[in-house]
Amino acid sequence: MASQQAPNASAEQRLAAVERVLEVRAHDKGLSVDHTMEWVEEKLIAENGAKVVARAWTDPAFRQRLLADGKAAIAEFGIGLPAIQRQVYVLENTPSVHNVIVCTLCSCTATTLIGPPPNWYEDLEYRARVVREARTVLQEMGCPVAPETEVRVWDTTADTRFMVLPMQPPETIGWPEEKLAAIVTRDSLIGVARLTAKGG
């Protein structure tokens, strides 16, 4: 429906036009773009996933609850899922299994645990290739997987979400939870990075 002859206005100008149209309706319902931006900045952060991971590393009973029912377990931290996301499966990486997440049809993510996805996760290359050649893609991304390790790729095609529980670097065993949370990166929650004591 690109009916008009004129070339597209810049993306920023088109965004501003959409915002103008929505503003009035939002105002009537007590919503605003700025408030929604604040919600994105405060609630949709990978620090949430990092806290959950640190607890799972240090508390075996929590780890069990997290693997059995992700939604209920993250609620212990006061972390919810947006209404459309019905459940979150937490996928445990081990020496014999490496999990990695993708959304081949769009770019769905467990936003309240991982945050809005990074650019490369939305790009055509990652979405096209990781289901078919995960080992090569992970190698290229600096996260090679041993041939004897099983690779499990999770395609987010419905409104169930996924988060990887990365392996704890052995040198960090015994660290307090808060210090552990600081080394957990967004990339490791997607399954494209391994962690070290220095983080990422």
Partner 1 sequence: MDGMHDLGGRQGFGKVGFAPKASPFQAPWEQRAYALRAMAIQLGIYNIDEYRHAVERMDPRHAMSASYYEKVITAIATLLVEKGVTTQAELEELAGGGFALSHRGTGGRTNAADRKSFQRGERVRVRDDFVPGHIRVPGYIRGKTGIVMYEGPLTPFPDAHAHGLEAADEPTYDVQFRSEDLWPGGAEQAVIHVAVFQSYLEAVA
**What angle is formed at CA 94 by the lines to CA 174 and CA 72, rounded to 5 degrees?**
75
Site for partner 1 in 26-45 (CB under 8 A): 26, 29, 31, 33, 36-37, 39-40
Q: Which is nearer to partner 1, 29 or 176 (CB)?
A: 29
Closest CB 55 distance from partner 1, rounded Å: 22
Q: What Rg do the C-alpha atoms of the chain give, in angstroms? A: 19
Told to check if 22 binds partner 1 by CB under 8 A, we report yes
The residue type of 168 is Q
Site for partner 1 in 69-108 (CB under 8 A): 84, 86-87, 89, 102, 104-107
Closest CB 25 distance from partner 1, rounded Å: 6
Distance between alpha carbon 133 and the CA centroid of its chain, in Å?
21
> Which is catalytic among the residues 32, 106, 143, 188?
106
Q: Strand 87-92 and strand 160-165: pairing? A: parallel
Site for partner 1 in 178-197 (CB under 8 A): 185-187, 192-193
Contact in structure between 54 and 181 (CB atoms under 8 Å): yes
> Which is catalytic among the residues 96, 107, 143, 188?
107
Q: Annotated catalytic, 143? A: no
Binder of partner 1 out of 158, 173, 182, 197 (CB under 8 A): 158
37 burial level (CB within 10 Å; 0-12, 13-18, 19+) = exposed
Told to check if 172 binds partner 1 by CB under 8 A, we report no
